[in-house]
Amino acid sequence: MHRIVTSVCLAVLALAGCGGSSGGDRLPDVAVEPLAGGQPVSLSDIDGPAVVNLWATWCVPCLTEIPDFETVHESRGSDVRFVGINIGEDAAQAAAFVEDVGATYDQYLDHDGSVAVGLEASTMPFTVVIDRDGDIVDRHLGAMSQGELEDAIDRAVES
10 part of a folded domain: no
Residue 120 one-letter amino acid = E
Domain ranges, residue 30: 21-158
Give the count of domains, the chain: 1
106 part of a folded domain: yes
3 part of a folded domain: no
Angle, nearest 10°, between helix axes 60-76 and 91-101?
60
Show pLDDT as tens, one digit a residue, over the chain (159 residues).
333 322 323 232 333 333 343 445 899 999 999 999 999 999 999 989 999 999 999 999 999 999 999 999 999 988 999 999 999 999 999 999 999 999 999 999 999 999 999 999 988 999 999 999 999 999 999 999 999 999 999 999 887
In order, the DSSP letters of 70-101 are HHHHHHHTTTSEEEEEEES--HHHHHHHHHHH
15 part of a folded domain: no
150 part of a folded domain: yes
Cα–Cα distances (Å) from 31 to 40, 58, 60, in that order, read 6, 23, 26
What's the pLDDT at 24? 53
pTM (2 decimals)?
0.83
What's the pLDDT at 22? 41
Sign of CA dihedral 71, 26, 32, 57: negative
CA–CA distance, 110 with 134 (Å, rounded to integer): 20
CATH number at residue 26: 3.40.30.10
CA–CA distance, 89 with 153 (Å, rounded to integer): 28
135 part of a folded domain: yes
1 part of a folded domain: no
8 part of a folded domain: no
